[in-house]
Structure 1
């Protein structure tokens, strides 16, 4: 059992938790320990009132090159044992209240692709390669990607990437909406942290959490239901302290001071 290395590192910078996958010798290939440590780190950051945004990246040359081949080569029973608990799967980040920004610094494949898409915003280093890879391993669209990927880039593009398992680079990923910004490698983490820090300092934590919940819930609602819910949330926000604070800050030409989530 792998228990001698710290597979996930966490540091805090400007109200941003920077979470780093830390198995650089294997391009941060995923193990069950790493998956569970990563989920724990995200939950800890989400519960910390001092953290208002999260940046996820990889140590060394990779982001996450998929499941550790040493596990895959052991056969079906070992693979089943590898799977993290359902509550620790890659979609966890989408359920957090805190925005999660991926700084994709190197190769991404398989479960690493799912972890990348499990973030709310994705920055990628220029030239980074990524692939779903499942069809080339005799596998299926894993970790809910058959639900998530079409919602991010459309059914046709999602189908093509899942069927082919081909490799695309960061520039193509940006063109099709898979990543939001392509950055020179030496600037990637700094730009992702700057973006996250701007959310942390300038945006209401309550607004960020509510907007995340709205977007994902509304994907499953009809227009009328979504509009009715939005109107209720709008009405509540008019009486909330964050609007009053934002308006006061603008009048007084100072940064807003929003209360943390409870």
Structure 2
């Protein structure tokens, strides 16, 4: 049985974590399958939606499959690091559709996406501290970018649950919708992103995660990026569309 169900909705690829019997908690094999699915979607689609089957987006890592053997633990973490690296640095934009809850690794996967859409009844928790673990799956990187370092410290140390309204207020979630509507709303957002200039989307994503986030580092990176984009066919189409007072068609350039 596949851990990830793949469905194309026009230019958007929907990846559904499909382990509802364990609330989509991911073991090593599941992580490997998710990594492969993300890489394929990055090659074959223009935008990606990540969601979960059943009543929970993702409950985190599968605790029953965790091992105290250092070699086994290292392998699990290498794979999940590759997953979040693909989410953050891949070519295509990602939208998370969260229903029910996102905990631990599940919260980290959502936080790594460009946009998070959640049902109003969704709940969130960093959860690692509850079993004596520190964060992984890049959460110590992605969560401060969303909520700031002080709030990140509090959420990681207490592992308290917080609801969707608070998640939106502090920046974990961008869009709240009625329960059951997160996937359709996420697909709509992803479809909008799919219609944007692909080189522009990639450029914005890379600027936001490049190692040098100093003012001078970003000024230099912005200049290099803009020069490259100005010389490309997507900008030529955008400029022509502006002058001709028509919507740009970035998907066929």
Instruction: Compute the TM-score of the two structures, normalised by the length of structure 2.
Output: 0.92
Aligned to 2:163: 169
Work out the number of aligned pairs and report it.
250
Say which of 31, 52, 64 aligns to 2:46: 52
The 5 A counterparts of 1:1-262 are: 5-48=1-44, 51-72=45-66, 75-77=67-69, 80=73, 83=76, 85-86=78-79, 88-201=82-195, 203-217=196-210, 220-250=212-242, 251=244, 253-259=246-252
- Post-superposition offset of 1:70: 2.3
How big is each residue's C-alpha offset from its partner over 1:45-102, in whole Å with a ceiling of 9 and x where there is no partner? 1112xx1100000011111111223224xx5139627715345343320010100110
- With 229-238 and 13-22 compared, the bigger mean Cα shift is at 229-238
8 Å CA contact retained: 1:36, 1:84: no
Distance in 1, Cα, partners of 2:197 & 2:164: 31
8 Å CA contact retained: 2:99, 2:121: no
- Post-superposition offset of 1:220: 2.9
Q: After the TM superposition, which segments of 4 or more aligned residues of structure 1 sit over 4 Å from their partners?
A: none
In structure 2, stretches of 5+ residues that fail to align are: none
- Post-superposition offset of 1:135: 1.3
- Post-superposition offset of 1:248: 2.5
8 Å CA contact retained: 1:116, 1:122: yes
Instruction: Compute the TM-score of the two structures, normalised by the length of structure 1.
Output: 0.89
In structure 1, stretches of 5+ residues that fail to align are: none
Q: SS of the residue aligned with 2:240?
A: helix
